[in-house]
Chains A and B, each alone.
Chain A
Amino acid sequence: EAQVTQNPRYLITVTGKKLTVTCSQNMNHEYMSWYRQDPGLGLRQIYYSMNVEVTDKGDVPEGYKVSRKEKRNFPLILESPSPNQTSLYFCASSPRSPNYGYTFGSGTRLTVV
């Protein structure tokens, strides 16, 4: 089944404790992106990657890091999480560009206390 897989689905952590949310797609998509979803704010792009080793900032990149060492994987790293990073996170992928439409993962609900 063609899909974007995120792990974990739920995560509660403490301020300052480094964490990684994994994302993997099995569709050979070139374009991958991370979004956060907050009530009343919709989905805001954190980082995106147009291909292996090519990443760039989205609209809300502060406090996040990403890497794209393999085509299928695009992990999101929070080096020192803070409570304002409590949110619902989605990884998404698209064949060549987002103008072909995204396939989203099921989301990761992160709580930072």
Chain B
Amino acid sequence: QQQVKQSPQSLIVQKGGISIINCAYENTAFDYFPWYQQFPGKGPALLIAIRPDVSEKKEGRFTISFNKSAKQFSLHIMDSQPGDSATYFCAASSFTSGTYKYIFGTGTRLKVLA
């Protein structure tokens, strides 16, 4: 119930296309859903995050769509660029009984072809 299932494992997109990465969760106590971007040799960096009181959040070319009833959320990268080639991780967080749970998905390796 604590897992966050991320798909696909890898993704190849043409420059200018839309990249879509999906995550699903079971624990309804999760109340914070961030996405992180990781380049080779670097630590993950927070990209965008959403809370369950909104269904969509957009920052530049990056959009999170959130479906509370389906317990799913996704990252959309519009006009994908070669510089977006990286590994993307979704995560979900909850705070219950005085303890934080912060669970990451298994990652999606995105390659954007020039």
Binding site for B on A (CB under 8 A): 4, 31, 33, 35, 40-45, 48, 50, 56, 59, 90, 92, 97-99, 101-107
Task: Name which residue of chain B comes closest to A107, CB basis.
Answer: B43
**Is A42's CB under 8 angstroms from B46's CB?**
no
Binding site for A on B (CB under 8 A): 2, 6, 31-32, 34, 36, 41-46, 49, 89, 93, 95, 99-100, 102-107
**Is A48's CB under 8 angstroms from B104's CB?**
no
| In the A-B complex, the 8 residue pairs with the closest CB atoms | A104-B43, A101-B46, A42-B106, A43-B104, A99-B32, A42-B104, A98-B102, A104-B44
B83 to chain A, nearest CB (A): 19
**Is A102's CB under 8 angstroms from B99's CB?**
no
Count A-B pairs with CB separation below 8 Å: 54
Dominant secondary structure of chain B at its interface with chain A: strand
Dominant secondary structure of chain A at its interface with chain B: strand
**Is A42's CB under 8 angstroms from B89's CB?**
yes
**Is B100's CB under 8 angstroms from A97's CB?**
yes
**Is A42's CB under 8 angstroms from B105's CB?**
yes
**Is A105's CB under 8 angstroms from B43's CB?**
yes
**Is A106's CB under 8 angstroms from B42's CB?**
yes
**Is A106's CB under 8 angstroms from B100's CB?**
no
Report B-chain residues with C-beta under 8 Å of the C-beta of A42.
Answer: 6, 89, 104-107
Task: Tell me whether A99 and B44 are in contact in the complex, defined as CB-CB below 8 angstroms, given that A43-B104, A44-B104 are known contacts.
Answer: no
A87 to chain B, nearest CB (A): 14
Complex: A40 Cα to B109 Cα, angstroms: 11
